[in-house]
Amino acid sequence: MRSILIAVFSLIAVSASTAARAETIVANVNGMVCAMCVTGIEKSFRKVQAVDAVKVDLETKKVTVRTKDGQSLDDATVTKTIINAGYAVTGISRSR
């Protein structure tokens, strides 16, 4: 019985730590051509509460967003943030 309880508590602990992990989102973006484009997108994402960090790579046309632990952003929010900054999204990928 004791080993079953230990196993159950271990699974609960692992599940809780997995759920609280941050997420990394990479969006492919069209329309960025200069440093001002980079600054505009970074400022837009810094206003989003769930965002911990944002990096815009002008050369690869990718925006990488890291969420705060335990928070996430859906594709619609990522797309809307980029569109409102004046750019087009061509794809989104995610990792934990």
Q: Dig out the tokens for 19 from the structure.
A: 């759920």
pLDDT tens-digit map of 33-58:
999 999 999 999 999 999 999 999 99
**Prediction pTM value:** 0.78
Domain residue spans of the chain: 21-95
**Topology of the domain covering 21-95:** Alpha-Beta Plaits (3.30.70)
Across the beta sheet with 62-67, what order do the strands follow?
Answer: 51-57, 62-67, 24-30, 88-95
> What is the biggest distance separating any 2 CA atoms in the chain, rounded to whole angstroms?
64
pLDDT (tens digit per residue) in 62-87: 999 999 999 999 999 999 999 999 99
Token duo for residue 92: 């989104």
